[in-house]
Homo-oligomer: A and B are copies of this chain.
Amino acid sequence: MEIDLKSSQPIYSQIGEQYKYMLIQGFLKKGDAIPSVRKLALQLSITPGTVAKAYSELERQGIIETVRGKGTFIAGIPKDTPDKGEILKVKEKLKKECMELIYLGLGKKEVLQIVEEVYDSIKKGEKAHA
């Protein structure tokens, strides 16, 4: 796992994103153990508190589960409800990114092509691990 200390994005949020990424790519699957708070903190050279914050956030989201005294485990992708509210929020963010691209002089075709590239880059590693 790699984090960017210089990024404006909080470290704990970067950690959460990395785990989500590994999940949808198939590197991790339900039941897998993830490093303990202290181990990951050591590995990333950050304080355990920051890792703990990341983990508790992921647990709140139902992505991981902690077993007291044992460790932390992947709980799986909670795809129960394709939440429309959540999709709306993402749409709002996408709107800003699209505006940015339009602003940079790109047309519809180019925008869609870029999104396709991005999508494929995410799914790229999936087949090898699913």
Contact = CB atoms under 8 A, between A and B. Distances in A.
A111 B65 CA distance: 29
Given A5-B67, A17-B96, A115-B115, 8 more contacts: A87-B101, A90-B100, A90-B104, A94-B118, A108-B116, A111-B115, A112-B112, A112-B116
A97 B91 CA distance: 8
B91 A105 contact: no
Interface in A81-115: 81-83, 86-87, 90-91, 93-106, 108, 111-112, 114-115
Contacts of A23: 103
Interface residues of A, number: 52
Contacts of A11: 68
A27 interface: no
Copies in the assembly, this chain: 4
B68 A95 contact: no
B6 A65 contact: yes
Interface of A: 5-6, 8, 10-11, 17, 20-21, 23-24, 60, 65-68, 70, 77, 79-83, 86-87, 90-91, 93-106, 108, 111-112, 114-119, 121-123
Given A67-B5, A67-B6, A119 B103 contact: no
